[in-house]
């Protein structure tokens, strides 16, 4: 099927969201709660665009809005920009400790007088960390509380039995809100301490025992195969490929 984005005719597949198509076509739409691993959540609304279908226009979240034949999309209109600016203002007020939010706040020309309410806070409650934890099969964190008090945490803010210390939550967090402290062979995350094991090849501490065991259990790959850091795994793979090279 075909649709028009910013005057350009684009091809789309059934099930595509507007954001998917725009990204394939190199058309930029800002996002915060979207990640290609999980698809759209429709929660931050920063990806808002204007859609015209059947002679009617409306503002929609492009990461969740499914394309249909002949719709026309505008990614930047005064109404769209106003909504995005308001979202940035609101999120900045919530999480003004985040470098990303500070940057967006400046880029969107928000008022210098509009100071953040939580100067240390960095979490915008996008839930990407919760989705990453679910994807790992651990579900050690979730959103707790409601309204402006909504935040991410472990059950009763205690060290969660389910947490394997993989730090997938921290890696995916767009605002750097999750603290991971690696010191020597100890990792501290979500109020829990873990021992880090060393890479079999370079000797650097790189993963927790719990993480290796968990991945081994889920994937059926032997522990010994997993005991290499990312860099050394890549080097091992290149070495193997060169070994098989016909040249």
The binder of ligand FES chosen from 3, 5, 63, 166 (CB under 6 A): 63
Q: In sequence order, what are the residues at sequence separation of 6 or more whose Cβ sits closer than 8 angstroms to the Cβ of residue 29?
A: 18, 19, 22, 23, 47, 49, 62, 75
The binder of ligand SF4 chosen from 127, 187, 192, 214 (CB under 6 A): 127
Q: In sequence order, what are the residues at sequence separation of 6 or more whose Cβ sits closer than 8 angstroms to the Cβ of residue 181?
A: 187, 188, 189
Binding mask 77-116 for ligand FES (x = CB under 6 A): ----------------------------------------
Q: Is 129 in the site for ligand SF4 (CB under 6 A)?
A: yes
Count of residues that interact with ligand FES, criterion CB under 6 A: 14
Q: Is 88 in the site for ligand SF4 (CB under 6 A)?
A: no
Q: How far is the CB of 35 from ligand FES (least distance, A)?
A: 9
**182 burial type by CB count under 10 A (0-12 exposed, 13-18 middle, 19+ buried):** middle
Q: How far is the CB of 72 from ligand SF4 (least distance, A)?
A: 32
Q: Is 173 in the site for ligand SF4 (CB under 6 A)?
A: yes
Distance, CA of 223 to CA of 209 (rounded, Å): 10
Cβ distance to ligand FES smaller for residue 59 or 110:
59
Contact at 8 Å (CB) between 84 and 46? yes
Distance, CA of 185 to CA of 137 (rounded, Å): 25
Q: In sequence order, what are the residues at sequence separation of 6 or more whose Cβ sits closer than 8 angstroms to the Cβ of residue 99?
A: 175, 176
Distance, CA of 166 to CA of 208 (rounded, Å): 7
Q: Is 125 in the site for ligand SF4 (CB under 6 A)?
A: yes
Q: Is 32 in the site for ligand FES (CB under 6 A)?
A: yes
Residues lying near ligand FES in the complex (CB under 6 A) are found at 31-34, 40-47, 61, 63
Residues lying near ligand SF4 in the complex (CB under 6 A) are found at 123-129, 152, 172-173, 175, 177-178
């Amino acid at each position: 099927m075909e649709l028009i984005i910013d005057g350009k005719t684009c091809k789309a597949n059934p099930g595509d969201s507007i954001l998917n198509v725009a990204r394939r076509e190199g058309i930029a739409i800002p996002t915060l709660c979207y990640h290609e691993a999980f698809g759209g959540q429709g929660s931050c609304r920063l990806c808002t665009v204007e859609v015209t279908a059947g002679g009617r226009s409306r503002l929609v979240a492009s990461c969740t809005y499914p394309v249909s034949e002949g719709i026309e999309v505008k990614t930047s209109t005064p109404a769209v920009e106003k909504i995005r600016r308001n979202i940035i203002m609101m999120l900045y007020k919530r999480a003004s400790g985040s470098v990303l939010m500070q940057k967006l706040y400046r880029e969107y020309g928000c008022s210098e007088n509009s100071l953040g309410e939580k100067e240390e806070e960095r979490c915008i409650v996008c839930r990407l960390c919760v989705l990453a934890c679910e994807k790992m099969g651990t579900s050690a964190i979730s959103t707790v509380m409601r309204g402006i008090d909504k935040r991410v945490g472990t059950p009763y803010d205690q060290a969660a039995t389910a947490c394997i210390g993989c730090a997938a939550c921290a890696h995916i967090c767009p605002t750097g809100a999750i603290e991971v402290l690696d010191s020597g062979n100890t990792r501290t995350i979500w109020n829990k301490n873990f021992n880090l094991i060393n890479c079999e090849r370079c000797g650097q501490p790189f993963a927790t025992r719990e993480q290796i065991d968990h991945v081994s259990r889920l994937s059926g790959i032997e522990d010994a195969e997993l005991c290499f850091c990312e860099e050394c795994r890549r080097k091992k793979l290149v070495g193997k490929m060169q070994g098989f090279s016909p040249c």
